[in-house]
Structure 1
């Protein structure tokens, strides 16, 4: 396969997944912003969302302060923001168009229709009238894209580059969400418990429930743990459980499996690093991770995923 074709397929999948993850992060912030909390806590939540995507500086170039509506507008329809849902869906569609011949008709039509419907929703203001419903629509279109890919495409190199892009992006976004949300929880909830006044247990429940729902993990958590929601168990589910579809372990299993299908004479080192990262997750324990520091672990994970992305680009794709 031509490296340029592989590049378009890889980034088509990454941008589709990134749009979904942006919608998920916006949704959890929107839902938690409805809980009783101080203005400072609400602002910190939106600040954390910008931090996840490393967009704080870009946002402040356009706006003087952090407001929920302006952050959502920046992350949904601002075409100058490369990580907005608008930019991601447009880039996914353009990459799909560039390799139309490598895709089935159903895959192309799904990407094209998603972009056209998004334009209609933004023009009509539907996302502003009901943000939660709009975020569900973005997630549904991403699910549809993956389902059509699995159901109609030959499982050849094109298929594996699409899957590789999907799960590398998902691993990156899940780690970012965990890092920022656990840091915010430590300050807002755990810190409050050390003082004379304890925060209500209900606040904890709704906060962690919203985070689990943002990764479609609430029902999975209840099925696996069958008890109250505890932060360390949330971390375990989203980091180490290989049977949780959006966990870091599950993502790395898919990354390694697809890299093995695509392996060439240049990719040995990239495959070795991916396999080592998968092994660290496969044999990791949440108590050890928490003892050494969750932030440090996730920061290192993000660095290693970024290194894998550069390795994949070097071994298979158009050089950056």
Structure 2
């Protein structure tokens, strides 16, 4: 496979996963914005900007941090490369470039999503029913992913598509956890504390998994264990890294020795890690190191497979 083709498949899925992750992040932020405000600094509203590293560009364009401006910036603003509009456009453009390598069902689903997104942006309707829009983004992402897994030949085409998905997912889950653990100080109100952790779990699609595995009210330590060390949870760091390791092993050729090595080391840390390891130097330090490691893996994948030789 040509490196350019591999790159377009990889980024097609990364952009689509990023759009879904952004919708999930905004969903929990929107839910929290409906609660009585207890933080004078609007830390809950600032969290999405911190997670995506877009605080300064947002303030330059919008000035005031409120939910309406956040929705416009993260949903419809094409100047924001991480907006849902920009991500769906990026996914569709990359899919168009590799139209001959993906199935008709994948292409039709992605193209229809893009056309609906353009129509919605023209109407400016995302903020009118935000929750329904977030559900639509997640539904379309699931649809494209299902068509991909159900119709594309088990070959390097599928390997690179799924590789992009899990690299993006690992990065996003770590960022959400890192920022949320810094923002979500222990709340004296147990009802509000319960609601906050439930909202965080729902933002990564892990609420039901937590209830089944722990059968108790969410706590900071158990949520960290669930989303970092538990391989049963599809969006956990361990599950994502396990998928990356398996996919790299399936790709033909000898070009990927470095990313395979880096991924195997990271997988071992997660597989044999304990909840005590997460908090030994503080969870922020742990997640910061993980983000450094996963970005090193992504850079190595780019160098080994996606750059023209």
Q: Under TM normalisation by the shorter chain, which class is it? A: over 0.9
CA drift at 1:39: 5.6
Q: Does 1:35 align with 2:35?
A: yes
Cα 1:315–1:44 change in 2 (3 A) is same
1:209 is aligned, of 198, 211, 214, to 198
Q: Which residue is 2:221 aligned to?
A: 232
C-alpha distance in 2, partners of 1:133/1:124?
15
CA drift at 1:38: 2.9
Contact 1:79 1:87 in 2 (8 A): yes
Contact 1:16 1:92 in 2 (8 A): yes
Cα 1:319–1:66 change in 2 (3 A) is farther
Contact 2:9 2:98 in 1 (8 A): yes
Q: Does 1:261 align with 2:260?
A: no
Q: Does 1:178 align with 2:169?
A: no
Contact 1:4 1:318 in 2 (8 A): yes
C-alpha distance in 2, partners of 1:236/1:180?
16
SS at match of 1:239: helix
Contact 2:156 2:252 in 1 (8 A): no
2:287 is aligned, of 291, 298, 316, to 298
Unmatched segments (≥5 aa) in structure 2: none
C-alpha distance in 1, partners of 2:55/2:125?
26
C-alpha distance in 1, partners of 2:103/2:264?
31
Q: Which residue is 2:261 aligned to?
A: 272
Q: Does 1:123 align with 2:112?
A: no
Q: Which residue is 2:300 aligned to?
A: 311
Q: Which residue is 1:168 aligned to?
A: 167
Q: Does 1:48 align with 2:86?
A: no
Contact 2:99 2:107 in 1 (8 A): yes
TM-score calculated relative to the size of structure 2: 0.97
Q: Which residue is 1:286 aligned to?
A: 275
Q: Which residue is 1:3 aligned to?
A: 3
CA drift at 1:265: 2.5
C-alpha distance in 2, partners of 1:39/1:78?
27
Contact 1:313 1:319 in 2 (8 A): no
Q: Which residue is 1:155 aligned to?
A: 154
CA drift at 1:72: 1.4
C-alpha distance in 2, partners of 1:230/1:260?
36
Root-mean-square deviation over aligned CA pairs: 1.3
Matches within 5 A, 1:137-148: 137-148=136-147
Moved more, 174-183 or 62-71: 62-71
SS at match of 2:140: helix
Unmatched segments (≥5 aa) in structure 1: 193-198
Moved more, 101-110 or 54-63: 54-63
CA drift at 1:125: 3.3
> Which deviations, in whole Å up to 9, do the C-alpha atoms of 1:255-299 show, x marking residues without a partner?
001001115323212100001101100111112211321000100
SS at match of 2:205: coil
C-alpha distance in 2, partners of 1:126/1:223?
37
Q: Which residue is 2:76 aligned to?
A: 77
C-alpha distance in 1, partners of 2:128/2:234?
31
SS at match of 2:40: helix
